[in-house]
A and B are shown apart, each in its own frame.
Chain A
Amino acid sequence: MPGFASASLIHSSVGPASTAALTPESASASVSASAAPLQTVGGVVDDIVRIAGLRFLGVLAILLLGLVLAYVAGTLVHRLLVSVGVPEAIEGTAFERTARDFDTSTVEILSWLTRYFVLGISIFATLSFAGVNYADRFWGLVIAILPQLFIAILVLIIGVVVGDKVELLVAERLRAVKLPQVNILPALAKYTVFFLATLVALSQVRVATLALIVLLASYLLGLIVFGVVAFRDLLRSGAAGTYLLFTQPYSIGDEIVVGEVRGVVQEFDMFVTHVESEDTEFVIPNARVLDKGVGRVR
């Protein structure tokens, strides 16, 4: 950092600041020597005009280029998002609806964000070209953090949209289950995604997130442990069912014996086999079928 600062200081000595430094000197020179060396003064003015003019043109060109680039980048992002079907995919999410209330849309917001980002970069490029470098350290820091801030905002927006979408999808899958308590699952999925997005965004702008990561790890660990404990039988049956579906040792209509159960196979899927005897229909988990073995009655 000190190297950077001194370099910019050297740089500043050739910038407009140098002309400013020169002026009082030339003024004092004009005072001390009444035989005014007009030529030298004129030459300096000329120099100033020449340098400043070039600078000015350059500044203008960079600013203009920045504007055009920003516009093009924003439009490209807009087109890209539309062509990969983002607007349809996020239709109905809370973020999109809020955006709609403000007469805009998520895609619009993203494209404007891109525009501002490119514009910001181009303004900084212009400033550094123009040689404006007061409080260098501060602007250096800002330039360093700007892309990260941009990515953090992007991650947050994507997180919010994806979280909303996940909530919608999970709720849709669970609609057939008419159980009020099941409503907690979509919300849980949504906030998990929000949490992850916040975590990524915060670590992007270098905020201490260790505590949050510990929280996430314990949450995931809890989820996995509970999942394994709760779904142990289903997982075992699913694995057995995969084997049974592939090999089909018995098919619908066969009479089979599993343990004490004997009957005609009516149906089988990934997890269970329906076996019907004279008066009872048994639903046997596939894990049990594989465990007890199956006999086919001829």
Chain B
Amino acid sequence: MAALSELLGDLVADVDGLFLFTPSSSHYEQFAETDVPTVVIAPENTVEAETFVELPLQFQNVKDRIRFGVEGAMEQRIVEAGDTIACNVGIFGGDPDSLVRVRVEENMRSGIYDLFANSRADPGVIRDVFEVAIELGKKGQKGEPVGALFIVGDAGKVMNKSRPLSYNPFEKSHVYVGDPIVNVMLKEFSRLDGAFVISDSGKIVSAYRYLEPSAEGVDIPKGLGARHMAGGAITRDTNATAIVLSESDGLVRAFKGGKMILEIDPEAY
């Protein structure tokens, strides 16, 4: 048993902070009094912690979840490169069940936190679009795998850099993403070609849009198709964020500033 305690002791030896992922309030209170700075990372600040990083998506991939938390903490200047932290995180199910020792490094800034917190569009809107894309990737449209392209934010500029493929089904309608009925509409319209354009506040501006960005200097992984290329390229020309569901491999990818920021597998959610 001594060896086991030692193992645990090694893990938490002189850490600069403790990151609690989605703790219950009793769990949080155990640590609130200790001298190690505690940071809570959760979808909502239910425990009223002083230092808190909002988790927009409950990342199933623990690496992404930790990376998001660390990046958020770096962004808020709670930790900086070189610090060592202990993360108490739940891998199986919701309750925290494991302890991970992480060394904060500058290259951990992948932009995932930036994608949600510092995009032009509201963080809630990006999260809602992600949820639609993930759900669409999981179930497909009527069982068939589909692809979809959502351009979120900076809608005015995006509209000026694209042209309609056909009549816009969302013309003169005032519907917002996140509404369950609207999400069903989005899924139904996903069989249309072209991109969805969504404004900063989540209003669906148009479907059926053909994007015409200049694809110069766009850095996206080789092997991705025209949809990803168009989505990635428009984010370089405008301040928009592109969320793309691939038809071939079923992954959801996010682009910002012409770079791929995040790649998640809908099946894992």
Residues of A within 8 A of B (CB): 245, 248, 251-253, 255, 264-267, 269, 274, 276
Contact = CB atoms under 8 A, between A and B. Distances in A.
Interface in B10-41: none
Contacts of A274: 200
A266 B155 contact: yes
B71 interface: no
A72 to B, nearest CB: 42
B159 A253 contact: yes
Interface in B189-247: 197, 199-201, 203, 205
B201 A253 contact: no
Contact of B200 (A245, A253, A255, A266): A266
Given A253-B159, A255-B160, A266-B154, 5 more contacts: A252-B197, A252-B199, A267-B199, A267-B201, A269-B201
Contacts of B159: 252-253
B174 A253 contact: no
B151 to A, nearest CB: 12
A252 B201 contact: no
**In which size bucket is the chain B interface?**
10 to 19
Interface of B: 154-160, 171-172, 174, 197, 199-201, 203, 205
10 contacts: A252-B205, A253-B155, A253-B156, A264-B160, A265-B156, A266-B155, A266-B156, A266-B200, A267-B155, A276-B157
Nearest to A246: B172
A43 to B, nearest CB: 85
A122 B135 CA distance: 62
Nearest to A245: B174
Contacts of B155: 252-253, 266-267
B172 A253 contact: no
Nearest first, the 4 closest Cβ-Cβ pairs linking A and B are A253-B159, A264-B156, A266-B156, A252-B205
B53 to A, nearest CB: 17
